[in-house]
Amino acid sequence: MTPMPRPLTSLTELEVALAHSFTRPILIFKHSSTCGVSAMASAEIAELLAGGPLRADVYLVHLQVHRRVQRHR
């Protein structure tokens, strides 16, 4: 079974992920369901995850659904 990116659906989840980045690298993929380039990148992320364990934790933000998380700086 291929691991999936962990969804970031709240600012609290984002802050926890960022706090974990001090001990382990993270990758945050900001996905837009209306963008063709984002669809291709999503496929590449899936291939990357299917290739075996990574040295980073992978997170996913759906831009159209979780705008507060997307806009947080």
| CA–CA dist 42, 45 (Å, integer) | 5
Biggest CA–CA distance in the chain, Å, is 34
Point out which residues pair with 45 in neighbouring strands: none
Tell me the two tokens of residue 1. 């079974």
Q: Model pTM?
A: 0.81
pLDDT value, residue 53: 82
Domain ranges, ordered by start, for the chain: 6-71
| pLDDT at residue 29 tops 90 | no
Of residues 50 and 64, more confidently modeled: 50
| pLDDT at residue 21 tops 70 | yes
| CA–CA dist 30, 51 (Å, integer) | 21
| pLDDT at residue 17 tops 80 | yes
Write out the DSSP string of 8-37.
--SHHHHHHHHHHTTTS-EEEEEE-TT-HH
Of residues 59 and 4, more confidently modeled: 59
